[in-house]
Amino acid sequence: MDRKNYYDLMIDRDNPQDTIDLIIYANSQIKREGSPIKNIVIDLSNNGGGNADAAIFVISWLLGEADIALRDTFTGAETNAIYLADVNLDGQFDNQDNVADGYRLYA
């Protein structure tokens, strides 16, 4: 079973807690044939924090890549990582996976 079919089994559009699915759906609607969408507004006013994986996915969707720096406050160890998200689930990391170019972003 490929990744797209695997994720399709987990999709629950009635569950607003699934940030990754909401972004996958939003991306498909924004980039659909004939879409009039030019502006994207991300409203974080009720964001209580939470899942770091979801945050990385959203950052990658907005910017094309998520450049994350982490620091362990106990040891002082630091690391950097760059993440790309396959938002359209086609198995490729390309400009179809983000809205960095061609849209006006507001947060």
pLDDT tens digit sequence for 6-34: 455 555 556 666 788 888 889 999 999 99
Query: Is residue 74's pLDDT more than 60?
Result: yes
Look at phi and psi of residue 76 and say left if phi exceeds 0, alpha if psi is from -120 to 50, else beta.
Answer: left
- Which residue range is the domain that position 15 belongs to? 3-106
Number of domains comprising the chain: 1
Which residues, 6 or more positions from 41, have their beta carbon under 8 angstroms from its beta carbon? 106, 107
Token pair of 98, please? Answer: 């983000």
Task: Say what the pLDDT of residue 17 is.
Answer: 66
